A and B are shown apart, each in its own frame.
Chain A
Amino acid sequence: AQTVTQSQPEMSVQEAETVTLSCTYDTSESDYYLFWYKQPPSRQMILVIRQEAYKQQNATENRFSVNFQKAAKSFSLKISDSQLGDAAMYFCALALLGGFKTIFGAGTRLFVKA
């Protein structure tokens, strides 16, 4: 069975600063994808960044980057130059290659202070 754990229920960051959200996961499979999703108050789940497990290079999307440590089964999200619009729930998620479901963590609520 696969599990995803987010140990930080809440995080806070000052506008323009950097914050890192943590995620650990467990799977016995070697081929999988990892994701970070953002869920603002509007409730719509938005994909922030995706990492293929077979790629050693960490994914980057503008101000968002990940630190993927496959051996440690760790997948953290770094948000640089935080903006007020970054305030939301962030979910770490895992999907097996060719699988039919995505497993989500419990989420981290990010507050951004002006």
Chain B
Amino acid sequence: ETGVTQSPTHLIKTRGQQVTLRCSSQSGHNTVSWYQQALGQGPQFIFQYYREEENGRGNFPPRFSGLQFPNYSSELNVNALELDDSALYLCASSLLRPGKGNYNEQFFGPGTRLTVL
């Protein structure tokens, strides 16, 4: 069973540029969530994708967007990068079974460290 993988490991961009981060979900999972973890802080929820549709979104501007593909892998795109976007970006996959009351354990990837200069 393959775990959650993310690429690239590290990335350096300049202000105003655009970036794409990638995540491959764990085998059998259908849901991917993205989190931003600034230095010294806990992860903050960006959004979640379930069956290629956005399933929920945190308090992030529209320049943060995502995609989920038929194989359930996912991309996080950030446009017009700002210095404050420098952070560790974590991806987590889970198996979502529709209906209230289901617990969907999240399995995290190792993250992508983004530095914006």
Shortest CB distance A4–B (Å): 8
CB-defined contacts of A106 to chain B, threshold 8 Å: 40-42
Shortest CB distance A10–B (Å): 11
The number of chain A residues touching the other chain, given as a range, is: 20 to 34
B109 at the interface (CB under 8 A from A): yes
Q: Answer whether A107 and B58 are a contact pair too, CB < 8 Å, given A98-B101, A98-B102, A101-B48.
A: no
Do B100 and A97 touch (CB < 8 A)?
Answer: yes
- Total A-B residue pairs with C-beta atoms closer than 8 Å? 59
- Proximity string of chain B (87-106) to chain A, C-beta cutoff 8 Å, 1 when within and 0 when not: 01010100000011111011
The number of chain B residues touching the other chain, given as a range, is: 20 to 34
Do A91 and B43 touch (CB < 8 A)?
Answer: yes
A56 at the interface (CB under 8 A from B): no
Q: Answer whether A44 and B102 are a contact pair too, CB < 8 Å, given A100-B55, A105-B42.
A: no
Do B100 and A98 touch (CB < 8 A)?
Answer: yes
Do B90 and A101 touch (CB < 8 A)?
Answer: no
A64 at the interface (CB under 8 A from B): no
Which residue from B43, B45, B108 sits with its C-beta under 8 Å from A44? B108
Do B42 and A107 touch (CB < 8 A)?
Answer: yes
B8 at the interface (CB under 8 A from A): no
B30 at the interface (CB under 8 A from A): no
Which residue from A33, A43, A103, A105 sits with its C-beta under 8 Å from B45? A103
| B contacts, CB < 8 Å to A | 33, 35, 40-45, 48, 50, 55-56, 58, 88, 90, 92, 99-103, 105-106, 108-111, 113
Enumerate 19 A-B pairs (CB-CB under 8 Å) in ascending A order: A31-B101, A42-B110, A43-B88, A44-B110, A45-B90, A47-B106, A50-B103, A91-B42, A97-B100, A97-B103, A98-B101, A100-B33, A100-B48, A101-B45, A101-B58, A102-B33, A102-B45, A107-B40, A107-B42
| A contacts, CB < 8 Å to B | 4, 31, 33, 42-47, 50, 52, 91, 93, 97-107
